[in-house]
Structure 1
Amino acid sequence: MQIFGVDIGGSGIKGAPVDLERGDLADERYKVLTPHPATPDAVADGVRQVVDHFGWTGPVGATFPGVVTGGSTIRTAANVDKNWIGVDARALLGERLGGLPVTVLNDADAAGVAEMRFGAGRDRRGTVIMLTFGTGIGSAVFVDGALVPNTELGHLELNGHDAEKRASSKVKDDQDLSWEQWARRVTKYLAHVEMLFSPELFIIGGGVSRKSHKFLPLIEGITAEIVPAELQNNAGIVGAAMRAAQG
């Protein structure tokens, strides 16, 4: 069975059909740059471009980098245009895609759902926290496999700032931090999250997960097990398709 997944991020909008039996992309993903400003209409046009690239005519699952309530309503928009707040994203995207059925969920929640089913969180019980490091820091919290949605732990305070303003991979690039410098910031962030939630496992995702060997060995003093996401930066696409398959 194949369902289409779209991952809307602060820097890119990427998508592909997903083979839900294998938990992997059924075709090479297609990506367009996130428009700036990332207004609802402009982003919806980008989503349509990605879906149209494949000539897709079935259900579509889409992620969003912020809080999504009721499977449709956007409540926060830290890394896209603030005009998203209050928008019915399911209706907007469905209209832009010519009436295709659309399901919307938080981007990190989507990535976490995929990792818990097909990746590093498979068969893991207890508290598992997926953290995605990209334009911001997304989070997905699971207790015995059940998702606690919209946790947004990237906005915890770290040294007087939103954590994602100190430890996202975008900050690493913008400030030209070495892997060692960035790993120290990530360590402080993980220690704070661990103090609050005492997870058994951290799964580290986002685009930077491809280079986990460069920074995970530098993180010390964390009790929880820390592993890279197995689906890497495709986890959001897979998780979006999984949610769309549920209707």
Structure 2
Amino acid sequence: MSGERGFGVDIGGSGIKGAPVDLHKGDLADERFRLPTPEPSTPAAVADVVRQVLDHFAWTGPFGCTFPAVVQHGMVRTAANVDESWIGTDAHKLLATATGRQPLVVNDADAAGVAEVRFGAAKGVQGVVLVSTLGTGIGSALIVDGQLVPNTELGHLELDKHDAESRAADSARERDQLSWKAWAARLSRYFQHVENLFWPDLIVVGGGVSKHADKWLHLVETRTTLVPAALRNSAGIVGAAALAAEHHHQH
């Protein structure tokens, strides 16, 4: 991987955060800088905030950027928690023009997954790793022998005649006022379904609720080992920076 440092930006529904990243340690090389996500979060408005984040650090090199959507070779195909005008936008072109730097835009869960495999809870694990982020929805990253299979969207599998994330995401736990045990039972159903489709060697569970893993993770019944994510809030920034540095090195 070329260079010691990369840069990652994490575009979320409420905030846009960024920081330089130490690509050897897989850690932030400086404090994160955060600006609120503009309202409405149109492509032009968001791109301008991304530029401000890069300018804050006087970063001029290539950068990675997470996005809460399916991103196919830079094209945004869906929109979750951002303005629907993003659908059909060429995010690479947009951000390159707005920032004057070379971007690599990836799905937010994919970026977090790559970070966990390279530097976190799945480091050194061969085979099939599933990283699942539990929050408002369920994000997923599938990584096979270190290679990302992008945009898996496993939160949208059907579970008990429902979209899985509407039953098993952390937001469903809060909405239905479930005990940890009752929520773990739903997660068990979800993860067993995923196991039967992909036969992962390890499942890493991230999202804000992973910091309470001691309350519920042991209650989830799976044949695959389940572990909490290690990088927490910096995973998206770190993974995006690593992917961008690698992409830039190859092209």
Question: TM-score w.r.t. structure 1 length?
Answer: 0.90
Q: What is the distance in 1 between the residues matched to 2:215 and 2:35?
A: 27
- Residues 41 and 159 of structure 1: CA distance in aligned 2, closer, same or farther (over 3 Å): farther
Equivalences for residues 130-209 of structure 1 within 5 A: 130-209=131-210
- Residues 37 and 160 of structure 1: CA distance in aligned 2, closer, same or farther (over 3 Å): farther
Q: Aligned-pair distance for 1:216?
A: 0.7
Of all paired residues, the percent bearing the same amino acid is 61
Letter matched to residue 5 of structure 1? G
Q: Which residue of 2 aligns with 1:93?
A: 95
Letter matched to residue 125 of structure 1? Q
166-175 vs 15-24, which deviates more?
A: 166-175
1:79–1:136 contact (8 Å) kept in structure 2: no
Query: Aligned pair 1:77/2:79, yes or no?
Result: yes
Deviations 1:159-213 (A, max 9, x none): 3222222222233344444333332222221111112111111011122222222
1:17–1:25 contact (8 Å) kept in structure 2: yes
Unaligned runs of 5+ in 2: none
Q: What is the distance in 1 between the residues matched to 2:52 and 2:212?
A: 29
Letter matched to residue 202 of structure 1? I
1:30 to 33, 44, 47: 33
Letter matched to residue 28 of structure 1? E
1:18 to 6, 16, 21: 21
135-144 vs 34-43, which deviates more?
A: 34-43
- Residues 210 and 102 of structure 1: CA distance in aligned 2, closer, same or farther (over 3 Å): same
Q: What is the distance in 2 between the residues matched to 1:243 and 1:216?
A: 29
Q: Which residue of 1 aligns with 2:233?
A: 233
Q: Which residue of 1 aligns with 2:223?
A: 223
Unaligned runs of 5+ in 1: none
- Residues 55 and 18 of structure 1: CA distance in aligned 2, closer, same or farther (over 3 Å): same
1:18–1:27 contact (8 Å) kept in structure 2: yes
Matched pairs, number: 244
Q: Aligned-pair distance for 1:244?
A: 1.3
Superposition CA RMSD, Å = 1.9
Q: What is the distance in 2 between the residues matched to 1:35 and 1:172?
A: 28
Q: Which residue of 2 aligns with 1:244?
A: 244
Q: What is the distance in 2 between the residues matched to 1:76 and 1:66?
A: 5
Q: What is the distance in 2 between the residues matched to 1:42 and 1:215?
A: 39
Q: Aligned-pair distance for 1:92?
A: 1.3
Q: Secondary structure at the match of 1:55?
A: coil
Letter matched to residue 169 of structure 1? D
> Any runs of at least 4 consecutive aligned residues in structure 1 with deviations exceeding 4 A, and if so which?
none
